[in-house]
Amino acid sequence: MTKRKGSEEVPLGELRRRAEEKAEAGDCACFKIGEKDPIALVHELEVHRIELEMQNEELRRSQREAHDLYERFLDLYDFAPVCYLTLDAYGKIIEANITAATYLGFERKSLINSQFTLYLRHHAWKPFNNFIGEVMTAAGKLRCELDLIKNKKAIIEGVAVSNGTGAPRQVRLALTDITDLRRTEASLKKLNDELEQKVRERTTELREKDRMLILQSRQAAMGEMIGNISHQWRQPLNALGLMVQSLLYLDDAGGLKRDVLETSVHEVMEIITHMSATIDDFRSYFRPDRDRVPFHLDHAVTRTIGLIGANFRDRGINITTVKNGDPLVTGFPNEFSQALLNILVNARDVFEERGVAGPRVVIGVGEETGMGVVTIADNAGGIEKEVLDKVFEPYFTTKSPDKGTGVGLFMAKSIIERNMGGRLTVRNTDSGAEFRIELKLS
């Protein structure tokens, strides 16, 4: 057996040895074991007395250490940053630390022997009683979240323990305040809801702006097409007028014969057929593409020039096409023609605004590194450096209000990049500006 001295284990044999040394150094030091029995007995008793005193001293030291440990435990328990409570099997508070009393807002002595449910919101009573029942039968720690009085919220962790007396098990609780956390979460949720509402409103606003941009672009395109139709029809109508007048002159002069009439009718029908085909071209241009389809860039370029060619010729603008292959791409051919037309119309307006002598547009069609490429280069002097990065922005224009709305190039970029997955860029050359369209090959 051993006795504890502080944190040391002291064998009883060592205590015996020390006791004998003290006994020999005392009043009966003259007695020796082995002499007369009474004297040996007195010596033995003295040794036992000293040994008991030493044991008592060890016990008192152990008690002081235990008391110090208990005091430190109470300090740690009372002033822990977490609320600690002990409940009996019926939910009555047996113990509570100072932190718990402060958190619940009552003096500690008033908490003892009161029901814990008194400090819960009414709707939390049943969930808490169910929680206590589960803790009493569980093998480990359980957790729940409950609403307390004074608008507080807490996470409660509970574990059942035995008090060692055979009485029903007790429940030890630890409460962690999450009131501020939940308030913060509620605030964040409110802010998030407000942000989502603002995003929805902004999205609706942007969609409305996009709709207006598309509408303005279509109106501008329709106006442009009406002008192009007038240019396309002016010469055929003049020809028809001359033919009709010539028939009257021939009839007055007596020279209107069958063969002359047939020739004139044939020429008139050719002109009418051409005008009808022009209407079909313009009508198909305004028909929206429903599906992505393969189409040849060269054909789309030729078709677009056919729509605007007469307009350019009347203004003395020369259009030249340089072909380096006929790339096949997949997309929306009518939309591509609209984008190309917007770029050409922009070049025409710049020619007129600047009064360029010998205006010229060169359209290149070819393939480069797996891409179909169309370039539109003019000799109008280029774009100012300070606005070069802004030409594709909506409503940005360097023209006067009666000449442009600033949506043409924006719509062209949207069609090429957003609708067809391509790329539209612009740069300045030695003589003017060059727009470059890149589309993936089919």
| DSSP-derived secondary structure for 35-95 | S-HHHHHHHHHHHHHHHHHHHHHHHHHHHHHHHHHHHHHHHHHHT-SSEEEEE-TTSBEEE
Residue 228 lies in a domain: no
Range of the domain at 376: 289-442
pLDDT in tens, 43-76: 777 777 777 888 888 888 877 777 666 666 566 6
pTM of the predicted model over 0.85: no
Residue 190 lies in a domain: no
Amino acid in the structure at residue 126: K
What residues contact 294, with CB distance under 8 A and at least 6 apart?
328, 329, 330, 442
Q: Are residues 432 and 294 in the same domain?
A: yes
pLDDT in tens, 355-406: 999 999 999 999 998 899 999 999 999 998 888 888 888 766 665 555 555 5
Domain end: 152, 177, 202, which one? 177
The Cα-based distances of 435 to 69, 178, 277, 378, 416 in angstroms read 86, 61, 30, 9, 12
Q: Are residues 39 and 169 in the same domain?
A: no
Domain end: 125, 150, 177, which one? 177
Instruction: Using the Cα atoms of residue 232, residue 234, residue 235 and residue 241 in order, give the sign of their dihedral.
Output: positive
Q: Comparing 168 with 185, which gets the higher pLDDT?
A: 185
Is the model's pLDDT at 108 over the cut of 70?
yes
Is the model's pLDDT at 282 over the cut of 80?
no
Q: Are residues 38 and 140 in the same domain?
A: no
Residue 195 lies in a domain: no
* 362, 320 Cβ separation under 8 angstroms: yes
Residue 162 lies in a domain: yes
Residue 108 lies in a domain: yes
Q: Are residues 363 and 438 in the same domain?
A: yes
Domain end: 43, 78, 113, which one? 78
Tally of domains within the chain: 3
